[in-house]
């Protein structure tokens, strides 16, 4: 019985500490793109991102825009070196702007904290919005 209690205590302690360690939060500034509803998006400069709770060991942040209503369309994104600052300035990379051809779509900016430029995922955050 003592062993079961110790195992449960250890598991709950790890769960609490891992959720604290892997916290990541992101906010996105205005998109600052011209209106687009043709289904033919322009390549535009990224908006300003504000990140917080970036875990230790994060050297890069990977950004990817996903259209939840047209998942097969790749809007792209970019990878930027993370220097410890909370603001990723507008124009850090280019991506294809939201441009749904048939009404409002739901979008998500996915941000992944990574230990290496090409991987080493440490944490992930999402920022959802609708356009237009």
Q: Write the DSSP assignment of 14-41 as a string of letters.
A: HHHHHHHHT--EEEE---------SS-P
The neighbouring-strand residues paired with 128 are 108
Q: Is the pLDDT of residue 129 over 90?
A: yes
Residue 48 predicted with pLDDT over 80? yes
Cβ atoms of residues 94 and 46 within 8 Å: yes
Residue 51, pLDDT above cutoff 80: yes
Mean pLDDT of 11-20: 34
Q: What is the per-residue pLDDT across 66-113, written as a single tens digit (0 to 9) for each? A: 999 999 999 999 999 999 999 999 999 999 999 999 999 999 999 999
Confidence of residue 22 (pLDDT cuts 50, 70, 90): low
Cα–Cα distance measured from residue 54 to residue 36, given in angstroms and rounded to the nearest whole number: 33
Q: What is the mean pLDDT of the chain?
A: 87
In this structure, what are the phi and psi dihedrals at residue 12, rounded to the nearest 5 degrees?
A: -70, -35
């Amino acid at each position: 019985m003592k062993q079961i209690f110790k195992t449960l205590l250890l598991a709950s302690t790890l769960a609490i500490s891992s959720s604290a360690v892997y916290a990541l939060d992101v906010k996105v500034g205005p998109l600052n793109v011209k209106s687009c509803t043709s289904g033919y998006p322009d390549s535009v400069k990224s908006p300003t991102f504000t990140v917080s709770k970036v875990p230790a060991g994060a050297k890069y942040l990977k950004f990817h825009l996903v259209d939840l209503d047209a998942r097969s369309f790749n809007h792209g994104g970019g990878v930027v070196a993370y220097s410890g600052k909370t603001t990723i300035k507008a124009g850090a990379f280019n991506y294809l702007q939201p441009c749904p051809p048939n009404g409002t779509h739901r979008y998500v900016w996915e941000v992944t904290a990574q230990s290496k430029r090409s991987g080493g995922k440490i944490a992930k955050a999402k920022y959802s919005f609708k356009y237009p």
